[in-house]
Structure 1
Amino acid sequence: MIAPNLTLLAAAALSASPQASNSFGLELEPYTAFGPGGVELVGERGHFDVPLDHGDPDGPTLELAFVRFPSTNPDPGPPIVFLAGGPGASGIDYCVGPAAGRTLRLLDHGDVIGLDQRGTGQSEPDFDAGPQFVVELDPGRVYTRDEIGVAYAELVGRAADHWREAGFDLAHFNTTQNAADVDALRRALGLEQIVLYGSSYGSHLGLEVLRRHPDGVARALLGKVEGPDQTYKLPSTTQRFLEQLGELVRADPGVAEQMPDLVGTVAKLLTQLEEEPALVEVERNGEALRVLVSALDLRTMIAESLGLAFSIVELPAQIAALAAGDWSSMGDYTLSNRRLEVWSPMAIAMDCASGASKRRAAQIRRERRDPANLLSDAVNGPYPDLCESCGAGDVGDDFRKGARCEVPVLFVSGTIDARTPPANVEEILEHFPAAVHVICQNAGHEPIEILSREYVDLARAFLDGEAVESVTLELPQPRFKPIEVVREEP
């Protein structure tokens, strides 16, 4: 549990540095949040101004929001800036858990700052305050990936037009602008250096801060790494992790007999759906809806589950039920897929702007056509189809190439994370001579590595400025849900 003197420390410990710049219109006010176990965190909430386009510092501005909680350490290191993932998650909300975590407590090492990135949470613009952009597709018919892409593109185009007319061109919502916001926050608070802490999209943003503003960063702990040219996933990677799941299932005596060939079973189910979609009835508001489940729906469901440690433990049993003719588990999922919604203009713009290099885009197109990759590129849908209508532009190949960076970085990967696999780090590691790579066996995209005492000790040492080494850590293997159905024999 976090030290009980947090409240007493807050008033004395938190104030803008004497070097803080009023040119950012910095405003501070008391702020209280509640962490794990209901522990009270007393700090400050602030607002500051940044250019809508950092390339035009005299142009329109955005007001961004952040929170800052004081360290429990009497001799803290540089403040730790929490970079939320998504993109689109609230740094103000999501920094609280890591700040006061039960195992790895960031407040033991430095002040913790959570920034609501442009277009998220309490920062401008408030995309949630605008109209909803939704299309309900017919659940009783099957749609191709291209058809869904066209429908999404039209929807995103309407949203982009609305926000452009409101003064917020989505062309200004990209990771380079976002990284400039992070450095502007550092300067607004008068901080010489900060520590970066983020995962998934937070790592993607952190890498751009390191590329563009390295002098302001003391060190960075980046997990589940999305490199500068890794926003769109490779179909071959998804296939590799599907095959890895099959191997894990075969090695589990609790499910191996009932599911000896998971990959082969998936292939048969996809062929079956290509020939004849499955009909499922789903109850909505007292009405029975007829829902057709397509091969694309199954591909998408499996692709979304791969890499999530808490999802893959359910997957073999679900696939076994499908093979036995019980498609009920796909009804609600498929129905939700027929509802197309612009979930976050900020998220769409950020991902579209990061995009992919010509080489990677060509590789994805080539691999999605390869029948050996059973799930094609379902993991990427509906990208990149909706990007042209988004108007996000492109960050350019200099962004995607990365750059040499001398800042110490601790990269963290999980071996069952299909979204941001260890290979992502290996691909960019040459640019970071002071970096180490911690690989967590059996960890997925979720941060379950914090359950490992060895990992927590290593992360603490790194955050304290100590040298650490690359290492592979062992976490428990996933325990699959028992398979209670009997597979139909061909």
Structure 2
Amino acid sequence: MRTSAWKQSLWLLLCCGVAFAAPAAAHRPGEIEVERGRVDGPSGPVDYEIGTLYVRENRYTPNSRVIGVGFARIKAPRATGAPPVFWLPGGPGLSVLGSFTDKSESAQSRLRSWLAFGEVGDLVVVEQRGYTLRGERLTAAYPASPLDRPASIDDDARSMRELARAAVAANPDKDLSGYSIVELADDVDELRRALGYERISLFGGSFGSQWSLAVLQLFPHRVVRAVLSGVEPLDNGYDMPSHVFAALQRMGFEADRDPALAPYLPPGGMMGAVRALHQRFAAGPVRVRVRDAQGREQEVTLGAQDLQLALLAHTDEAGRWPAFILSLYHQHYEAWAREVAAQRAAGEIKLIGPLIDTGLGVSAAREYRLRSDPALDYLGAWNFESYIASARDWPTPGMKDSFRLPRRQEIPVLFVHGDWDTSTPVENTRELLPYFRNGRAIVVHRGGHDGAFYLLRDAPQAKKAVYEFLRSGRDEGLPAQVDAPLPKFEVPDFAPPPRG
């Protein structure tokens, strides 16, 4: 899943996993080291390889140190004649190789999806330099934010600048300028060569789609075809507020028609609640007293810019979003205040998120659209301000428009996108599709940020067509739209107010 800038600044990371690669200094760039294992598949045991690719931390600096990048390969049980599929995870900073041993449902679901690629061909999973199970996990601590004043985008931008300078100072033995999306694309091609493949296909969601698009820009002659979901074009790393707001409107349309929510809806329905909240908090902050996990009482101050973040809370769980917003509308702030208190606590951030995103940046035209977007009043500049403000403090080199902006492509690409996606809005696909002469798009109506993954999980005919596209390039069976089921909306946990 793409981690937006606003989520990155709030995300508390629990580092659990151990980097168990051999010391990188003993290896040469381009070398791979492989271990073998076996897991239970749907038709019996399946062998896999898990390994480390050794690469220069910065390919453009002579004598740069050698670091490890984790990967895994599951070979097809029989030859299909199709190119291998390179599966690129999201984030930045989603480490997935633990799926072979982790027994959690999310890990096992991911593993089952990997095993299903056997009908297409070999599957190669590539992790990201700087946050990989087979190498280093670069993180930095950030301090707690005060509870006695509202959140502030300006404060967040200053904190991001301070974090950048502290991260550079804390890592004198590392060349943090090497953690760019270009280096990640180079890692994919270097692994392709090391594994002996002439050409490959790509499968990526969220940041994995943006990473895939970087590979397409730099190595088009090496890519046969691609399936990309939750699509993030190279110039769209910072989401357009009005596109995100449109996804909220689509959710609100369905919620307004739910009989169980009807007693809680104000005039104007869900979007009427959003407008009323916006006006309420524009008039001044509120203070809420809650107890923390240890039972200690604390007061949390919530302001207009906290509300901007709150409008995006729980949108990745669409069934919860209406009840959350309606609770705020009816002045039930306690659950929200507890969430905000947790978000303002000290934590850790994965460094490759801001390193990659600030280096990639956006074009001047995109920044102009972001800063003049009509939905800024509702959602604010949380998604881009701290990264734009701190770009010069992070050491990754800035990309040029010749790399960021889309160009005409002949490579067949299937885009899969949910129209309830608030992390990478569906407008991303609609803007990018015209550049791909052999491109196709599937819109998952009511689909969130897991577009293709939902499609492969719960729509068997579409799933079969996607696999056939990856195997042969044929697209005859691909639908233009798939309808996800309407979620069961939660109801606020208090009685509806009396009607006046």
In 2: Cα distance, 1:372 partner to 1:178 partner: 32
Shift of 1:279: 1.3
Instruction: Give the direction of change, closer, same or farther, for the CA distance of 1:340–1:161 in structure 2 (3 Å limit).
Output: same
Is it true that 1:482 corresponds to 2:491 in the alignment? Answer: yes
Once the two structures are superposed, residues 121-178 of structure 1 have per-residue CA deviations (whole angstroms, 9 ceiling, x without a partner) of: 23443315xxx52201221222321012212321232012222x02222x22111111
Q: Which moved more, 1:473-482 or 1:204-213?
A: 473-482
Matched, 1:459 2:469: no
Which deviates the most, 283-292 or 186-195? 283-292
Query: For residues 372 and 85 of structure 1, what CA distance do their matches in structure 2 show?
Result: 26
Q: How far apart are residue 212 of structure 1 and its match?
A: 0.6
Paired residue type of 1:413 = H
- How far apart, CA to CA, are the structure 2 residues paired with 1:23 and 1:321? 55
Moved more, 176-185 or 144-153: 144-153
* Counterparts of 2:90 and 2:415, CA distance in 1: 15
1:44 aligns with 2:44: no
Paired position in structure 2 for 1:327: 333
- Counterparts of 2:295 and 2:29 in 1: how far apart (Å)? 58
The amino acid of 1:479's aligned partner reads: K
User: TM-score, normalization: structure 2?
Assistant: 0.84
In the alignment, which residue of structure 2 is the partner of 1:25?
31
CA offsets 1:350-398 (integer angstroms, 9 cap, x no match): 111121111111111112xx47742223344643333332222311111
Letter in 2 for 1:135: P
- Unmatched tracts of structure 1, length 5 or more: 1-21
User: For residues 304 and 26 of structure 1, what CA distance do their matches in structure 2 show?
Assistant: 41
Give me the whole-angstrom Cα distance separating, in 1, the residues matched to 2:382 and 2:57. 34
Indicate if the aligned counterparts of 2:417 and 2:426 stay in contact, CA closer than 8 A.
Answer: yes
How far 1:57 moved relative to its partner? 6.6
Identify the match of residue 67 of structure 2 among 62, 87, 109.
62
> TM-score if structure 1 supplies the norm length?
0.86
Deviation at 1:340, TM superposition (A): 5.1
Aligned residues: 458
Q: 1:258 to 1:287 in 2, by over 3 A?
A: closer
Q: CA deviation at 1:63?
A: 2.4
Partners of 2:43 and 2:165 in 1: CA distance:
42
Quick check: 1:217 aligned with 2:223? yes
- What's the CA shift for 1:40? 5.7
Q: Output aligned runs, 1:190-339, within 5 Å.
A: 190-260=196-266, 261-274=269-282, 275-306=284-315, 308=316, 311-339=317-345
- Write the distance in 1 (CA, Å) between the matches of 2:126 and 2:144: 34
After superposition, the C-alpha distances for 1:223-263 in whole angstroms (9 at most, x for unaligned) are: 11000111001111122222222212222233234325212
Choose which of 370, 386, 395 in structure 1 pairs with 2:399.
395
Runs of 5+ consecutive residues of structure 2 not aligned to the other structure: 1-27, 101-106
> SS state of the match for residue 379, structure 2?
coil
Counterpart residue number, 1:3? none
1:167 aligns with 2:174: yes
In the alignment, does 2:163 pair up with 1:155? yes
Residue 358 in 1 paired to residue 364 in 2?
Answer: yes
Are residues 1:109 and 2:120 paired? yes
Give the Cα separation in 1 of the matches to 2:388 and 2:40.
Answer: 39
Contact 1:82 1:91 in 2 (8 A): no
The residue number in structure 1 matching 2:422 is: 418
Q: SS of the counterpart of 2:310?
A: helix
Structure 2 counterpart SS, 1:24: coil
Contact 2:58 2:175 in 1 (8 A): no
Question: Structure 1 residues 85 and 471, CA, compared in 2 at 3 Å: closer, same or farther?
Answer: same
Identity of aligned residues (%): 24
Asked if the contact 1:203/1:223 (under 8 Å) is kept, the reply is yes
Q: CA RMSD in A?
A: 2.7
> Residues 372 and 361 from structure 1, CA distance in 2 versus in 1: closer, same or farther, beyond 3 angstroms?
closer
Residue identity opposite 1:197 in structure 2:
F
Is residue 2:191 matched to residue 1:188?
no
